[in-house]
Amino acid sequence: MTPGQASLLDSIFSLGDDTPVAFLPPESNCRQLAARSGLSLGPAKQKEMIDDWLAQPDDDLQIENLENIRCSLLNGLVLDRQVESNMLPFIVHSFASWMSRFLFEPTRIIDITRDHILRAYGNHPSRQRILAISTVSLAVSSSTDYSLTEFMILYKQLVDFIIEVRARNDSLTRELALGAMEHSHEFISTLCRIGSLANVLNVMDMYAPVFRRACPEPGEALVNLPRVLTTINIHLQFYATLDVLQSVITHRPMFFRYALDYLLPQDEELINAEDGPGLRWLYGVPDRLMITLARMNTLLEEFGSCLEVGRVQDLENEIETFAPNVCTTDGTDLTLNVGRVVVQEGWRLAAYVYLYMGLCGADSSDRRVISAQQKFMRLLETIRPRRNPDSFLVLPIIIA
C-alpha cells in the first residue's frame, strides 16, 4: 500500500453486512501478515478498521519525502484476497492504488468511485468482474514486473460479452447498452497502459455501437458532447473523451461526429466550472478545451489542412479565452496546484499547434508554431520534476 492511498477514498465506505461470496483466489504472499493485521475479521469489525484505514489525509499523495518513507513502511501491507471478508477492502485498496498513480486529480472522483464499487459489489456477476479488474489494477499500478494472465482472462470475458450484446441488434435497448458499458472505463484505461494503440482502437471500435445506443440521442442524431461530458456516467464520458483525444494524437477520424452546441445554459456553466463533472480529473484536459478539440477534429475531417481564415480566427479566440481551473479547497498542496495549472496551460498551447499544423497546413518553421512551442518550453521551466505533473504532460508534448 503506497503512501496516503487511503485518503483518496477518505470515508469512502460505510460497509454493510453483505455476506461476501466466494471468488477465484489469486496467489498471495502475505496471509500471515493479513491475519495478524485483523483484516480477516467479520463485517462489523472490518467496517471500523476500514473507516480508520481510509481516514488519513495526505494532500493527494504528492509530498515526496513522506511518500518515500511511507512506501518503505507500508510496502508489505497487501491484503490477502483468499480471505473472503477482505474482498471489499482489497477492491478499495486496488482502486486507490490505480487512482493515486494514473489520475490527474484523483480526489475529485471519490464519490463516483465509491458509488461504482458499491454498485458492482452488490451484484454477483459484477462482483466477480470488479474483483478481476482490481487484481489487474493493483498489479499494473504497483510494479512494471507484472503478469498479463489475469488481464487476458478479463479481456476475453469482456470482449465475449460485448460481442454477445452487439449481436442483439434491434433488441438492444438503451438500458441494456448502459449496462454493457459498465466497466468499459477501467477495461480500456488498463488497455491504454499495457496494450498497443491498435488494441485500444480495436476495442473502442467494438464498443462503438453500444456506446451510441447508450446515449440518449435518437436515431441518426449526433451525440451531443457537452451533454455527455456533463452527465455523470463515467463510462460514456470516458469513451467520448478518449475518442476526441485519440483523433488529436493519431490524426485519424473520431469514431463519431459530435454535436457541439450547448443544449442548456446550465451545461455551459458546468463545463466552465472549477469542479465540473467532466473528465479533467483523468488526463488534465479542461472540459471546455475538450469541446474545442472535438470541433477542430470535425473541421479537419471536413476541410483538411485548408481551413478558411475566419474559422481559424474563431478557433484562436476560443482557445485564447480558456482559463485553467484547479480545486482550491483548504489543505491542497500549492505546488501540486501549480503543476496542474501547467498541465492545463500545456494543453492550451498544444491546441494552438494542432490548429496551425493540422488545420492550417503550417510546418514547424511557421512563426505561429514556433511561438506556441517556445511558450510551451518556458512553461516547462517553471516547475520542478515530479510524477504529477510530468506524466500528464506527455500527451500535450507529443502534440506540440
Q: Is 260 inside any structural domain?
A: no
Q: Is 27 inside any structural domain?
A: yes
Q: Is 177 inside any structural domain?
A: no
Mean pLDDT of the 248-258 span:
95
- Burial (Cβ within 10 Å: 0-12, 13-18, ≥19) of residue 370: middle
What is the structure's pLDDT at 358? 94
User: 246 or 34: which carries more pLDDT confidence?
Assistant: 246
The domain in which residue 112 lies consists of 1-140
| Contact criterion met (CB below 8 Å) for 296 and 245 | no
What is the structure's pLDDT at 331? 58
| Contact criterion met (CB below 8 Å) for 49 and 39 | yes
| Contact criterion met (CB below 8 Å) for 347 and 290 | no
Cell numbers at residue 125, please?
A: 456477476
Cell numbers at residue 112, please?
A: 463516483
Q: How many helices (H) and strands (E) does the chain have?
A: 21, 2
Q: What is the percentage of the chain residues whose pLDDT exceeds 90?
A: 48
What is the structure's pLDDT at 212? 96
Mean pLDDT of the 106-129 span:
82
Q: Is 192 inside any structural domain?
A: no
- The conformational region for residue 219 under phi > 0 = left, psi -120 to 50 = alpha, else beta, is left
Q: Is 67 inside any structural domain?
A: yes
| Contact criterion met (CB below 8 Å) for 85 and 40 | yes
- Give the C-alpha separation, 92 to 89, whole Å: 5
| Contact criterion met (CB below 8 Å) for 88 and 9 | no
Indicate the number of domains in the chain.
1
Mean pLDDT for all residues in the chain: 80
What own/partner pairs with CB < 8 Å and gap ≥ 24 does 118-126 have?
Answer: 118/13, 120/182, 120/183, 121/18, 121/87, 121/88, 121/91, 122/18, 124/21, 126/182, 126/183
What is the structure's pLDDT at 295? 96
Q: Is 163 inside any structural domain?
A: no
- Give the C-alpha separation, 86 to 84, whole Å: 5
pLDDT at 80 over 50: yes
Q: Where are the beta strands (DSSP E) in 67-134?
A: none
pLDDT at 371 over 60: yes
Confidence of residue 82 (pLDDT cuts 50, 70, 90): low
Q: Is 357 inside any structural domain?
A: no
| Alpha carbon of residue 256 to chain centroid | 20
What is the structure's pLDDT at 389? 87
What is the structure's pLDDT at 31? 36
- Give the C-alpha separation, 368 to 110, whole Å: 41
| Contact criterion met (CB below 8 Å) for 61 and 47 | no
pLDDT digit string (tens) for 141-164? Answer: 888 888 888 899 999 999 999 999
What is the structure's pLDDT at 33? 25
Which phi and psi (to 5°) does residue 299 adopt? -65, -35
What is the structure's pLDDT at 35? 38
The pTM score is: 0.79
Q: Is 103 inside any structural domain?
A: yes
Residue that the C-alpha cell 512551442 belongs to: 373
pLDDT digit string (tens) for 296-314? Answer: 999 999 999 989 999 999 9
Residue that the C-alpha cell 491504454 belongs to: 192
Cell numbers at residue 353, please?
A: 499547434
Residue that the C-alpha cell 473528465 belongs to: 279
- Give the C-alpha separation, 206 to 223, whole Å: 18
- Burial (Cβ within 10 Å: 0-12, 13-18, ≥19) of residue 334: exposed
Reported residue count of the chain is: 400
| Contact criterion met (CB below 8 Å) for 322 and 355 | no
Mean pLDDT of the 129-150 span:
88
pLDDT digit string (tens) for 14-58? Answer: 333 333 333 333 333 333 323 333 334 444 444 443 344 343 434
